[in-house]
Structure 1
């Protein structure tokens, strides 16, 4: 997930020999999976709420290269993307969060000074809550199964737009 490689390049890079007919089958299965990707409805609603309030959205994800174009096509209105395969690093490395901030025109060093506020949410406590906090981003964890205070992205977006500044600390 830290290299911009397709299936064939990844196999070659790892020294894995795959018969040509088998590679065609694997690539077909991957394409079917890519074609089946959909954005969760709560994410669509959350993006709309945040955009209505003029809040810039960045997507920061540990992602294999074949998934990048599909994800970007499904979420084209983001101000920034920090994708592991493009940057050569993965969450929770601090530089991936800095890259997302830089793409938004935010100076990460100002986050600790309180002049700018950035919030992040995701489904990994380590990568989406704890990792961003190392550079001053207010990281939140959510669990779609309903355990924990945040269980969908629309709820999070409403929290963000209805919270007074600095209440996320």
Structure 2
């Protein structure tokens, strides 16, 4: 439950919270599968590395020390185009952002995302006060650096911020460690942003 603190800002996770991708083709998974076939052992931080590097497929592959064959590159680019075409905002996302803006809240997004996904999502959403994309910050949630990035832009103290997201570690535990309030949204159970934010909206 939310407390009675006077929040001045609401910060959202993006994918699974504001934005969805229908039937994602996961191009980066194709690359990681190919790298494994070449004998490269998967590392626990591979996904975090992909989302914190601002570059294309070739750049990422060279970072891992490989050059992608043209057939795989074409397959990955086709998968990416499919995903970008099927990225959409949840029906309540833009209306809720506009409503919060009207009520005077500062708004931001904080997301672990690979470059093309983040850029497409930002294009779909209305202009916000702050952006903390992992590929721009060079850090992923729950690293405190990424949260501090939007706090600096918003000029807010952590206790003035309510964070909304769909992942416990990244969107609740991480923000709370820094002193923010945080609330999970269960989109898969049909929960809406209004369900999560109704107490805030009634203040």
Under a length normalisation based on structure 2, what TM-score does the superposition of the two structures give?
0.70
Match of 1:153 in 2: 193
How far residue 118 of structure 1 moved from its aligned partner, in angstroms, is 0.7
RMSD: 1.7
Deviation at residue 87 of structure 1 after TM alignment: 0.6
Q: Segments of 4+ in structure 1 off by > 3 A?
A: none
- Which of 154, 161, 173 is residue 104 of structure 1 equivalent to? 154
The 5 Å alignment of 1:73-112 reads 73-108=123-158, 111=159
Structure 2 CA distance for aligned equivalents of residues 9 and 100 of structure 1: 27
- The whole-number CA distance in structure 1 between the counterparts of 2:72 and 2:187 is 36
Higher relative contact order (CA 8 A, sep 6+): 2
The answer to whether the Cα contact below 8 Å between 2:58 and 2:67 also exists between their aligned partners in 1 is no
Give me the whole-angstrom Cα distance separating, in 2, the residues matched to 1:118 and 1:28: 39
Equivalent position of 1:51 in the other structure: 101
Q: What is aligned with 1:11?
A: 61
1:136 to 2:176 alignment: no
DSSP-derived class of the 2:187 partner: coil
1:35 lines up with 2:85 in the alignment: yes
Structure holding more strand per residue: 2
Structure 1 residue 107, shift from structure 2 partner: 4.1
User: SS at the partner of 1:158?
Assistant: helix
Contact 1:45–1:154 (8 Å) recurs in 2: no
| TM-score for both structures, normalised by structure 1 | 0.83
- Structure 1 unmatched runs, 5+: 112-116, 164-169
Contact 1:120 1:138 in 2 (8 A): yes
Task: Please list every run of 5 or more consecutive structure 2 residues that lacks an aligned counterpart in the other structure.
Answer: 1-50
